[in-house]
Amino acid sequence: MYKYMIKPIMFLLDPEKAHHITVKMLAILLKIPGIKWLFKKLYSVDAPALQKKIWGIHFPNPVGLAAGFDKDGKCFEQMSALGFGFIEIGTVTPLAQQGNEKPRLFRLPSDRALINRMGFNNDGVDALIKRLKKRKDKSIIIGGNIGKNKITPNEHATDDYIKCFEELYTFVDYFVVNVSSPNTPGLRELQEKEPLTKLLSTLMKHNKDKIAPKPILLKIAPDLTDSQLDDIIDIVNNTGIHGIISTNTTLDRSTLTTDTTQMGAGGLSGRPLQFRSTEIIRYIHQKSGGTIKIIGVGGIESGADALEKLNAGACLVQIYSGLVYEGPSLVKKINTAILNQSMQKE
């Protein structure tokens, strides 16, 4: 139904407006008696073979919703009804900010891709916490993707990440440090060895002071060189953070068939990112001897795509752009493919 009825209508609308309408429609639908049960039947795959315990967290299945879809914690309960094993919210910053000027989100249907330059638009960490306090379903595994405000200079960026970490600590199951978005000026400079080591070491110090430390992951750009990836591996090992998310959006548009001249700057996601994100997963997995836990994201729009990332060394996967093009049934397709592969190995 999504591909032949909902998607054609939504693709007539501005992508950002279509996103908000879709989320509102889902919220309304799930208030109808029996719909939540129906969604569970349609989209969920409950099987012991899909369950994973990583970082002390019990994931009901390895398919998550990537950050960016639910920036402000407004729809994580609704999205969990689509069969996701975990939901990542954010990127959130200490202060609310509007993000970049609109239009800032573009579809590339012929490339099955998206370009965004949202710019960490969000209501701020205090507003997010108010929503998380009202959550009804405490069983949903939630990751908190944290960033810095645009007005915060890089030399004070650590303060922003610490603020988000401390405020969100009670309300999320794991953290993701986002220094890889291309849409905040200068942010990717924080991926360099010295500032990144300082940032992650400081976060880990605060984390270790907690009674029950939370997993901290680093989300990296797909545009890093092998030498830079080697530095990332060293930083992960030296700081003791818990893993990597591979990858964020890319600035590379060399493989596109769509002319994006009029769209301007922004990060590219979707199918064109598929190969590079998997390549980075494989590189980090092999170089680290499999000691670094990796969440694979980028260009997943089928069960085979997800298996490719898992077989390359990822322990979990996330989707976003694929959901736009394939619809909610994608979660079930991926989980079914993973389950089938596990059964074949037995």
Active site residues: 181
**HSE value, Cβ hemisphere, 13 Å, CA-based, for 251:** 11
Residue 265: left (phi > 0), alpha (psi -120 to 50), or beta? beta
Question: Which of 205, 221, 216 is closest to 241 using CA atoms?
Answer: 216
Residues 183, 116 contacting (CB under 8 angstroms) = yes
Cα–Cα distance, 175 to 89 (Å, whole number) = 10
**What tokens does 324 get?**
């736009």
Report the sign of the C-alpha dihedral through residues 28, 34, 38, 41, in that order: positive
Cα–Cα–Cα angle for 307, 115, 306, rounded to 5 degrees: 5
* DSSP character string of 83-99: T-SEEEEEEE-SS-B--
